[in-house]
Amino acid sequence: MNRDTAVVLGGSVAGLCAAGVLARHFGKVVILERDLLPPDAEHRRGVPQSKHPHFLLNSGRRAIGEIFPGFEEALIAAGGMLLMPSMDAAYCEDAGWAPRTSGSMTMVYSSRILIERVLRAKVRQLSAVDLREGVTVTGLRSVGGGTAGGRVAGIEYRTAEGEDGRLSADLVVDALGRGSSTVGWLAAAGWDAPPEQTLDAKVTYTSRWYDLPAADERPASWWWRHLIIAPTQDAGSHPVEHEFLSNFFPIEGDRAIVCMGSWGIPMPGDADAFEAAADRVRAGAFGQAARACTPVSPVHLTRSTGNRWRRFDLLDPPPLGLVCVGDSICAFNPFYAQGMSSAARSALILGDLLREHEVCDAAFFRRFLARQRKSLAVPWMLAMARDQAYDFATGTEVAPRWRRRLTARLSWPVFDLVNAAGRQDPYVERAFAQVFNLDKSLRRLTVDPRFWFGLARHRLRQALGRPVVPSGFDQRRDPPATDYTHYPRYTRDARNTRNDAPNTQPAETAPGLIDPRG
């Protein structure tokens, strides 16, 4: 196969990353995007998820940085914020506010639309890339469909003016997302449909954009930039909003996206219901923060959140000449922020194989699918680990009842235990951050003896009354600003405030710690 022309279907994050890789190996790369792309960071029809919080995991940041050198610096220059979540975010666990400590993980906070704008600017600098807007892909062109040498040889399209056209291609990359019609087009040409793994845990979430108050008008308690409220683990009577996973997510331009989501619970879809629900979230600081800001958007509600993996790697024979990336092959529950990073990792795999193979023959595509499967298995296992806990979940990956009960009982407590141990054990913190950021599989973590030793040592310290970083600060109060990174090496006769008292002991007997607020 020649490397004259590659065609990328879709100009979102997955398609842009793929184009960035292909431009190094093909004479011409054509991106076909249905939408008319805005010149600035604006929402568009083809990316409804852009109205909700997005962030790149560390593995995704590195992958995009390899594809587009200088991407992170450009994103920050455009308004993105490089923060350390363990210090810059206030996190409310089941027992209350978690303490602030330094960690190994950083994040660049921004909106999805800003990420895409910066990526588009990078792509437009590539002379080999032709980005065509207002073009709808209507089908695939192929030869020998379903046979051992069957190949996708091009695409058919329609312009915004209603004109039909065709493009021949040496390689087609499907980045059309969840709504991709590629499986149907392949079936019409003679290929079997790939097996699908699915799990829909009925996640619904709702978001609204806000302007932050001017810097000199923000409450003194706003040391944090990001608020995260985890669902309660209390099985007793409580408002339904206590079961929400809630985010006050900072983005560029002194704005924040206020987002609430849940598994299997209807979410508010209008402004009044949204504000009332935010007020009932179990940490009062969340609703107070939203009301201190100025809403600048309607409420955006999303229900299309199921996990789905189209197993092209199991097809025999697979269609040659076609590669699927992003949500078109594997779509995740968006709660876990895995989509953009997984798409960028697939683009890197594509680049690796193009360097290793002079000809994109059957061996090329089989090796790509095998490596992509290994890469996708890492985030897939993480998504299953949580979404399999619910009795109302549907799909091929529904777990046996005993495992659902075990997962529901242990998942959040284990998560809290890992976080607590990681505040005093850098190895535990780094190991879990690697899993969270898709640099290490959950399976590898579960057989890491040093990781389990860290958890056990933390539990033993608690049982023996040895110093551990205090936690469980009263969720009815503001999150504590104290930096506990070097606990217990604090002056015990230093002043303390009632706000910094854990729920587990009266404020008057909480250990005295140096408070940076004075």
Other Cβ atoms closer than 10 A to 220: 8
Q: What does each C-alpha distance from 325 to 5, 311, 341, 493 come to in angstroms? A: 18, 12, 11, 57
* Strand pairing category for 5-9 and 28-33: parallel
The secondary structure of residue 318, as a DSSP letter, is: P
Report the alpha-carbon distance of residue 260 to residue 240 in Å, rounded: 12
Intra-chain end-to-end CA distance of the chain, in Å? 69
Confidence check: pLDDT of 499 > 90: no
Report the alpha-carbon distance of residue 167 to residue 299 in Å, rounded: 40
Please, which residues bridge with residue 320 across strands?
151
Per-residue pLDDT tens over the stretch 226-265: 999 999 998 889 999 999 999 999 999 999 999 999 999 9
User: Any idea of the CA torsion for 260, 266, 272, 277, to the nearest 10 degrees?
Assistant: -50
Q: Supply 181's token pair.
A: 């019609």
Report the alpha-carbon distance of residue 121 to residue 134 in Å, rounded: 18
Residue type for position 376: L
Residue type for position 118: V
Per-residue pLDDT tens over the stretch 392-413: 999 999 999 999 999 888 888 9
Please, which residues bridge with residue 83 across strands?
107
The secondary structure of residue 310, as a DSSP letter, is: E
Report the alpha-carbon distance of residue 90 to residue 223 in Å, rounded: 9
H or E element, residue 428: helix 426-436
Phi-psi map region of 145: left, alpha, beta (phi>0 left; psi -120 to 50 alpha): beta
**Mean of the per-residue pLDDT values of the chain:** 91
Torsions phi, psi of 210, nearest 5? -135, 150
Query: What is the three-class DSSP state of 46?
Result: coil
Per-residue pLDDT tens over the stretch 37-92: 878 767 777 777 889 999 889 999 999 999 999 999 999 999 999 999 999 999 99
Per-residue pLDDT tens over the stretch 428-459: 999 999 999 999 999 999 999 999 999 999 99
Please state the rounded mean pLDDT for residues 311-321: 94
What are the residue ranges spanned by the domains of the chain? Answer: 5-54+112-197+306-383, 203-302
| pLDDT-derived band at 1, boundaries 50, 70, 90 | low
Please state the rounded mean pLDDT for residues 205-222: 95
* Strand pairing category for 89-92 and 226-229: parallel
Other Cβ atoms closer than 10 A to 357: 16
Contact residues for 233 (Cβ-Cβ < 8 A; gap 6+): 94, 412, 413
Per-residue pLDDT tens over the stretch 461-498: 989 988 789 999 999 999 999 999 988 753 333 333 33
pLDDT of amino acid 304: 82
Identify whether 239 is preceded by a cis peptide bond (ω within 30 of 0).
Answer: no
Report the alpha-carbon distance of residue 233 to residue 282 in Å, rounded: 12
Indicate the pTM of the whole model. Answer: 0.91
User: Is residue 96 a contact partner of residue 502, using CB atoms and an 8 Å limit?
Assistant: yes
Question: Of all residues in the chain, what percent carry a pLDDT higher than 70?
Answer: 93
Torsions phi, psi of 301, nearest 5? -115, 135
Confidence check: pLDDT of 515 > 70: no
Q: Which CATH number fits domain 5-54+112-197+306-383: 3.50.50.60, 3.30.43.10, 3.40.50.620, 3.40.50.2300?
A: 3.50.50.60
Residue type for position 512: G
The DSSP annotation for 203-260 comes to EEEEEEEEEPPPGGGS-TT---SEEEEPPP---SS--GGGG-EEEEEEETTTEEEEEE
Report the alpha-carbon distance of residue 13 to residue 29 in Å, rounded: 16
- Helix 449-464 to helix 401-422 angle (10° resolution) is 70
Q: Which CATH number fits domain 203-302: 3.90.550, 3.30.390, 3.30.70, 3.40.1350?
A: 3.30.70
* CA atoms within 13 A of residue 389's CA, in its CB half-sphere: 15
| Of 147, 139, 156, 137, residue with least CA distance to 319 | 147
Question: Of all residues in the chain, what percent carry a pLDDT higher than 90?
Answer: 81
User: Is residue 31 a contact partner of residue 123, using CB atoms and an 8 Å limit?
Assistant: yes
Q: How far is C-alpha 284 from the geometric centre of its chain's CA atoms?
A: 26
Other Cβ atoms closer than 10 A to 400: 9
